[in-house]
A and B are shown apart, each in its own frame.
Chain A
Amino acid sequence: MGETVTLVLPAVLRGEAGGASQLAVGGSGTLRGVLDEVRDRWPRLERRLRDERGEIRRYINVYVDGEDCRHISGQDTPVAAGAEVRVIPSVAGG
């Protein structure tokens, strides 16, 4: 397990993390590693973020230190110790 990163959750997902707005996650140097740890520790939260193939859901945006991971390397985006990983649902629906 790597150094601690902070996972910041939107209000709508906090119920899946015991009400926490932030989680301290070890991760393994990439965003995939961070989300894999989320899967192991908070499986209901993780499956809201990724489907069973492990792909981030279409209307979920994940920012690593303020950058949309889709504009970097997706789940291969490096996540350094002390980084902030922020989950923000995109604008969708009606």
Chain B
Amino acid sequence: MTALIAIGTAKGLFLARSEDGRGSWQISTPHHQMTEVYSVAIDTRRATPRVLAGMIASHFGPSVATSDDLGETWQEPDPAPIAFPEGTEAAVERVWQLTPGPASQPDRVYAGTQPSALWSSDDGGMTYQLVQALWDHPHRPTWGAGFGGQAIHTILPHPTDPASILVAMSTGGVYRSSDGGASWAPSNTGIRVLFQPEEYPEYGQCVHKVARDPVHPERLYLQNHGGVYRSDDGGGTWQSIADGLPSDFGFAMVSHPRQPDVIYNFPLEADIKRFPVGRSCQVYRSQDAGKSWEALRTGLPGEGFYPTVLRDAMCVDNGDPAGVYFGTRSGEVYGSRDAGDTWSLVAAHLPAVLSVRAADF
């Protein structure tokens, strides 16, 4: 069995490969070097896994490339794979998210971009079409931009209902469609906003990441810009699950690949103090859907650890036991092959890590 970690960094995509049960890793030289790889995906629905990379070259703009041979060769279409249609008067600045669709749509891949737009592909992620209804949403002119830009960074297709899709953006919050993307409605009830006088607006939240429970797909977990939440009704309403955490600020939120109610988070001290809690490297895990949390630190650096973990720089694989991985802005990647109980260093001295995805096949 091969295990693969796709590590998107500020200067290219690195592929870490293990053939010994995730015990040791061979790290590639950078693919698409000198591009910022904000989004990566490993599509294991195909007979041969497809690696997708959404990158931006500071001079030459954004693109999406795919590889069906684990990075030996890359395919990138001649016309722009992701570009606003003529007359839109917008240009894609960055591809923030690449998400394979549900199993019933094996060639469907979604992309989220800056400016905030959702895209769908029906050729396995090689070319994308704008989801016009969300782009035309009357709220769009009032969606804001956080420090990282204005982007759709989270896309959660429903695993068994292809018509049901949830997206999250900064800022703007959560939006849902129940008709395959033909119409969209905000879905932020209960999510508090800290940066404006109205604390519970219909939309406008700066949601950082949302994860879906693998067994109960209507159960969702959300890291907000201040606040950690759970929804048990597909995003209709949200309740805080931050009580057991040392801080309610952070970027990443990840759910276990198979077990219900198991989630991972990397809390930072606060919005204005973006250091790991305790200035040490700690992943927090809940095994009861956020009622209680435990710090996981075995094998991770202790005090004197300052780098942050960005929203897409934490992931799980589909191995058994589950692998959990995260990358830091200081260019390290840590991994656990026992669902978070113990950790080891996978890679060091890389450029800043922006995105991480992993799979066993």
Is A24 positioned at the interface, with any CB of B under 8 Å from its CB? Answer: no
Q: Are A47 and B61 in contact (CB under 8 A)?
A: yes
Given the known inter-chain contacts A43-B79, A44-B78, please indicate yes or no for A55 contacting B91, CB distance below 8 A: yes
Q: Are B78 and A53 in contact (CB under 8 A)?
A: no
Least CB distance from B50 to A in Å reads 20
Least CB distance from B108 to A in Å reads 23
Q: How far is the CA of A6 from the CA of B91 in the complex (A)?
A: 28
Least CB distance from A56 to B in Å reads 11
Q: How far is the CA of A90 from the CA of B57 in the complex (A)?
A: 13
Q: Are B59 and A90 in contact (CB under 8 A)?
A: yes
**Which of B82-90, B288-296, B305-313 lies at the interface with chain A?**
B82-90
Within 8 Å by CB of A53, from B63, B76, B90, lies: B90
Contacts of B67-95 to chain A: CB distance below 8 A: 76, 78-80, 83-84, 86, 88-92
Given the known inter-chain contacts A52-B91, A52-B92, A53-B91, please indicate yes or no for A59 contacting B78, CB distance below 8 A: no
Within 8 Å by CB of B80, from A47, A55, A90, A93, lies: A47
Is B160 positioned at the interface, with any CB of A under 8 Å from its CB? Answer: no
Least CB distance from A51 to B in Å reads 4
Is B196 positioned at the interface, with any CB of A under 8 Å from its CB? Answer: no
Q: Are A92 and B79 in contact (CB under 8 A)?
A: no
Contact flags A40-76 to B (C-beta < 8 A → 1, else 0): 0001100111011101010110000000000000000
Q: Are A92 and B80 in contact (CB under 8 A)?
A: no
Is A89 positioned at the interface, with any CB of B under 8 Å from its CB? Answer: yes
Least CB distance from B302 to A in Å reads 30
Contact flags A15-34 to B (C-beta < 8 A → 1, else 0): 00000000000000000000
Least CB distance from B126 to A in Å reads 14
Q: How far is the CA of A43 from the CA of B34 in the complex (A)?
A: 21
Is B147 positioned at the interface, with any CB of A under 8 Å from its CB? Answer: no
Nearest-neighbor residue (CB-CB) of A89 within chain B: B59
Q: Are A52 and B84 in contact (CB under 8 A)?
A: yes
Nearest-neighbor residue (CB-CB) of B92 within chain A: A52
Q: How far is the CA of A90 from the CA of B83 in the complex (A)?
A: 24
Q: Are B91 and A48 in contact (CB under 8 A)?
A: no
Residues of B contacting A48 with CB < 8 Å? 57, 59-61
Q: How far is the CA of A67 from the CA of B88 in the complex (A)?
A: 31
Q: How far is the CA of A43 from the CA of B63 in the complex (A)?
A: 13
Residues of A contacting B88 with CB < 8 Å? 52
Is B142 positioned at the interface, with any CB of A under 8 Å from its CB? Answer: no
Least CB distance from A44 to B in Å reads 5
Residues of A contacting B79 with CB < 8 Å? 43, 47
Nearest-neighbor residue (CB-CB) of A44 within chain B: B78
Q: Are B61 and A53 in contact (CB under 8 A)?
A: no
Q: How far is the CA of A60 from the CA of B34 in the complex (A)?
A: 16
Q: How far is the CA of A53 from the CA of B80 in the complex (A)?
A: 12
Q: How far is the CA of A49 from the CA of B61 in the complex (A)?
A: 8
Least CB distance from B61 to A in Å reads 6
Q: Are A59 and B80 in contact (CB under 8 A)?
A: no
Contacts of B23-53 to chain A: CB distance below 8 A: 34
Q: Which residues of B contact A (CB under 8 A)?
A: 34, 57-61, 63, 76, 78-80, 83-84, 86, 88-92
Contacts A53-B89, A93-B58 given; 20 further ones with Cβ under 8 A? A13-B60, A43-B79, A44-B78, A47-B61, A47-B63, A48-B61, A51-B61, A51-B91, A51-B92, A52-B88, A52-B92, A53-B84, A53-B91, A57-B59, A59-B58, A60-B60, A89-B59, A89-B60, A90-B59, A92-B58
12 pairs, A vs B, C-beta closer than 8 Å: A48-B59, A48-B60, A48-B61, A51-B83, A52-B83, A52-B86, A55-B91, A57-B60, A60-B59, A92-B59, A93-B34, A93-B58
